[in-house]
Amino acid sequence: MPRKQSDMALRLNAALCILMLTFCAVTGAIAGEPAEDLVNGFENPPVTARTRGYWWWLRGNTNKETITRDLNELKAKGYGGAMITDAGKPAGSIPDGPVFASPEWLELFRHALDEADRLGLKLGLNMQSGWNLGGPDVKPEESMKKVTWSETRATGPGQFERTLPVPDHRGGYYRDVAVLAYPLQTSPEGEREAEITASSSQPDYPPALAIDGDPNTFWVSAGIDPTHPVSEDAPEHLQVTFQEPFTATGLKVKPRPDYGPRSCRLQARKAEGEFRTVKSFDMKDGQQKTIRFDEVEATVYRLVIRDAYDPNHPDSPRNVQVKEITFLGPEEKWPHAQARPIKLWQEKAIYKLYGTFSAPRTAGLLASHPSEPNEADLRQNDLRNLTDRMDEDGNLDWHIPEGNWVVLRIGHTLTGAHTKTHGPGWRGLSVDHLEEDALRSYWSRVVEKLLDAAGPHVGDTLVWLHTDSWEMGAVNWTEDFVEQFRSRRGYSPRPYLPVLAGKIVDSREVSNRFLFDFRRTIADCIAENHYGTFARLAEQEGMMIHPESGGPHAAPIDALKCLGRNDMPMGEVWA
């Protein structure tokens, strides 16, 4: 009796049958076409099957004669068309031409379309100069945004009637999202309550990062200009204010290599009175230093930094960067060893992009430190929403319950992302890619002007619209993000907003799950609100799109979902 065929054998036989049927269908179709048609089609393919290329209008420097010559040569070499890409080049190497979308530029654009139509070529258009979609007339409220926050301590019972500090922000733009308070968990035995502030800081690198126990984070002072360096006349400082006097006998400073302090002075003062110098000292680049001194009892300690390292500007350091500071006492240190923060929390909350350059593997974003007992900073059931108790000037009126409390003022500011590799006159903020109104506003101001100039060529000779690669860095907020999150995930993000300030809410597992939903929502917003809207607007004009919506560089996106909004997927290959 023949043996029963295995499942594998059956699957192989089925696959062979399908393959044979497919071969027969294909050969039958081929047999039905004259052989000479296949040869002619290969030697002279239709324009839709021909190669198109980037057609660079560097710094807008072109003219009608050059445009005609270029298109004639493209036709002669067998191209099906090109994509007009106005972009920048180092100043001085190429003379400036007309500004993108100016009347002079539009005249050249119309000439290119007329000539392409004469030659039977199809054109695409990069709908800005350079990349990172944006331009000089993008308003701050239409641009890319991120979360920022400030932290204040309060002790009750009692009345809180103070102005909450405005969180660090860029470009004079800041909007509040929520004011939340939670009871401070019981400190480890002997731990002192204290607050750290700084002379200045950059929004992504607040002073709290200098005491968070994470060697991968660091504080950065605000300077970016070597003409205003850190110096004796313009020092920077970190300041720690204790609720009760702290007795110190030493200080440990861990710098960020290449950018750490060079010359320092530790000062101290009582609750009232003048600062006095405890000790002056110098540091070597990249090396942790511990200084010792006679016992000092003070309420406020200030690490004054009078000079710093900067590999690009060694004689005029733009800023100073410190990973950790620790105060040492006869029987204690501050801060005590803290619970480890959420692993890669800045990357998980998209303050930083995970990975480098192109197409990074992001499995690491799912990694976590093991949970430990009592490591949560707060329970969401203990969280108080004080948003309605703060007025428009930041004044909070609140009756503090008994105990020590943390008050978070959470808002959003600009990421600072702007157009790159643009021609003259086109530098500006990048549009908010998380909400559709920003793109619609840009479309009405810029793209409609381009399409009006194209006239009857729209959808015929001018077939494709394009935006180039994501080089805008991290983004993690938009004006209506709370509702965007709620509608997609089915719950409100408000009780978990402290996670975006580096806190552990309920547990490490719960906080990581929220951060996953947070990243998922960011990616969905970009795919649906930006690239989906882009596709719909183009379709209304009878056109198609092929943006580099999948990155290809590190970006807070679902690349497949974004590319799925394209009429033609497009990326980059560097070899």
Residues 137-160 pLDDT 10s: 999 999 999 999 999 989 899 999
What residues contact residue 373 under an 8 Å CB cut-off, 6+ apart?
Answer: none
- pLDDT by residue (tens digit) across 444-468? 999 999 999 999 999 999 999 999 9
Angle 258-209-228 from CA coordinates, rounded to 5°: 50
Interacting residues of 413 by C-beta distance below 8 A, sequence separation 6+: 145, 146, 148, 167, 168, 169, 170, 171, 173, 174, 175, 203
| Residue 406 near residue 184 (C-beta atoms within 8 A) | yes
Q: How many CA atoms lie within 13 A of 450 on its CB side?
A: 27
Contact 294, 249 (CB under 8 A): yes
pTM higher than the cut 0.75: yes
CB 556 within 8 A of CB 353: yes
Paired with 326 in beta bridges are 252
pLDDT digits (tens, 9 = 90+) for 253-281: 999 999 999 999 999 998 788 999 999 99
- Residue 213 pLDDT > 90, yes or no? no
pLDDT at 553 over 60: yes
Whole-number pLDDT of residue 5:
39
Burial of 558 (0-12, 13-18, 19+ CB in 10 A): middle
CB 255, CB 321: distance < 8 Å: yes
User: Scanning the structure block, which residue is given the tokens 């996670």?
Assistant: 499
Q: How confident is the model at residue 285 (pLDDT cuts 50, 70, 90)?
A: very high
Residues 311, 317 contacting (CB under 8 angstroms): no
CA dist 511 and 280 (Å) reads: 42
**Tens digits of per-residue pLDDT, 61-78?**
999 999 999 999 999 999
What is the per-residue DSSP string for 502-557? Answer: TPPBS-HHHHHHHHHHHHHHHHHHIIIIIIIHHHHHHHHTT-EE---TT-SBS-SS
Distance CA 233, CA 333 (A): 32
Task: Give the model's confidence band at 29: pLDDT under 50 very low, under 70 low, under 90 confident, else very high.
Answer: very low
What pLDDT does residue 42 have?
A: 84
Residue-wise pLDDT tens digits, 87-136: 997 667 788 999 999 999 999 999 999 999 999 999 999 999 999 999 99
pLDDT above 70: residue 236: yes
What are the residues facing 124 on neighbouring strands?
A: 83, 464
Q: What pLDDT is recorded for position 27?
A: 39
Neighbours of 19 (CB within 10 A): 10
* pLDDT greater at residue 488 or residue 14: 488
Going by pLDDT thresholds of 50, 70 and 90, the confidence category of residue 323 is very high
Residue 382: is its pLDDT beyond 50? Answer: yes
Separation CA 440–CA 448 (nearest Å): 10
CA angle 82, 86, 88 (to 5 degrees): 135
Reported as a pLDDT band with limits 50, 70 and 90, residue 216 is confident
